[in-house]
Amino acid sequence: MKSFVSMVKANLKMQVRNRTALFWLLAFPAIFILIFGFLFGKNSDFTATVGVINGHSTPIAKEMTKAMNKSSFFHVNYAASKKEELQKLRQGNIDAVLVFPKNVSPGQTLQVKSYVDKSKLSTSQAVSAAINQVAQQFNQGANKGPKLVAVSTQSVQSHHLRYVDYLVPGFVGMSIMQNGILGLSAAFVTLRERGVLRRIRVTPFPLLSFIAARIVSNLIVVLCQVAILLGMAKAVFNLQVGGNVADVALNVAIFAILGALAFLTLGFFVAGISRKVENANTLGNLITFPMLFLAGVFYPLDQSPTWLQDIAKVLPLSYLADGLRQSMVYGTSVTHLWVDALALIITAIVGMFLAVRFFRWEPRAN
């Protein structure tokens, strides 16, 4: 145990003293977040298109849809056919369908049904939260009387989703991916090809412990990295925190760890099949590069063609970015994000299998 702790400590020291690694770990994502944050932080708001059925049927429905239309967040489409609108929703052309009743007796609560696409967690929750917020405004006046409006979707507290709120968690996820795959594989190939691993091998310290120590120290680093980057974004751009800080931190930490595990194991795999650092970098970039653009880190993929969305569904980064975003911005707990969590766990298992299969301790004989 002492040897394990000692190895972890040594790894941490090396990480902190390695300027290049620190740059990629902190400075690069921080600079990136700042630039994007200042460019898009204020204006470029995220909008949701909502199909509204019976939007003119009752006074309250009229008021409510008008209020929604005024907010810069919603783009309201008055429509007639519920069936058609639901179809559009399924195809991802709109973000929600709001169905008002045809008529309502005085004194009765207006029962509104809201449909969102649960598979698109980031938008669906933002939209339902925003709808609830609008409905809330109508209920506030009537303290004693019955509620004017009741929207039957899950209630999530949400404010305004800005582009920074969307971008920052995804970008942090991307950084976890790059440090997991590129950072780890380069470091490990170097250790192996220079013969450091062989030197460890002649000590009684088990090789598995060496790997485990490496993973543990990497996870510690990742947690610090995520805390620093998100903390910075919170301080500078008032990044949205969707709930009490402790819960959000816990959920974000869980996703950071799952994501790091998924990408670290892939990093070990890349290290195993690469002969030199340059090979590891090339291969690592080959794996990570498509994910940068296709995993919805920079922009939501809801508006993109379905085939693109299908590609995103097999990219682990989509799930990490979504998981981090949901838990950070909307305060969703991991239990509701089990799809994201499961996808990352599966990636980690596959990665582990590949890592073990292609692992080498010895430099490749020339």
Partner 1 sequence: MRMATPTGNERVRDYPEEAVIRIEGLRKSYGKVIAVDGVDLEVRRGEVFGILGPNGAGKTTTLEMIEGLRKPDSGEIEVAGYDAVRETEKLKKIVGVQLQTTALFDYLSIEETLGLFADLYGADSSPERIRKLLEMVSLTEKAKARVDQLSGGQQQRLSMALALVNDPKVVFLDEPTTGLDPQARRNMWDLVRDIQRQDRTVVLTTHYMEEAEELCDRVAVMDHGKILVCDTPLALIRSLDVDATVLVTVEGDLDGTLEQLPGVDNVEREDNEVRLRTRSTQETITGLMGLAAERGVRLHNLSVRSANLEDVFISYTGRSLRE
Secondary structure element (H or E) that encloses residue 264, with its range = helix 245-273
Q: What is the DSSP letter of 336?
A: G
| 315 in Cβ contact with 228 (< 8 Å) | no
- Residue 179 CB, nearest approach to partner 1 (Å): 17
For partner 1, the closer CB: 14 or 245: 14
Count of C-beta atoms within a 10 Å radius of residue 226: 26
| DSSP state letters, 201-243 | HTSSS-HHHHHHHHHHHHHHHHHHHHHHHHHHHHHHH-----S
Compute how many other C-beta atoms are within 10 angstroms of the C-beta atom of residue 235.
9
The answer to whether the CB of 124 falls within 8 A of the CB of 118 is: yes
Q: Under a CB-based contact definition with an 8 Å cutoff, are residues 231 and 22 in contact?
A: no
Residue 18 or 87 with smaller CB distance to partner 1: 18
Structure tokens at 305: 């063609």
Would you call 58 exposed, middle or buried from its count of C-beta atoms within 10 A (0-12, 13-18, 19+)? middle
Q: How far is the CB of 29 from partner 1 (least distance, A)?
A: 22
> What do you get for the CA distance between the two ends of the chain, in Å?
37
Q: Which residues bind partner 1 (CB under 8 A)?
A: 2-3, 6-7, 10, 13-14, 17-18, 194-196, 198-205, 365
**Beta carbon nearer to partner 1, 19 or 83:** 19
Crossing angle for the helix pair 306-313 and 277-294, nearest 10 degrees? 130
**Spatial separation of the C-alpha atoms in residues 216 and 23, rounded to whole Å:** 21
Distance in angstroms (rounded) separating the CA atoms of residues 183 and 179? 4
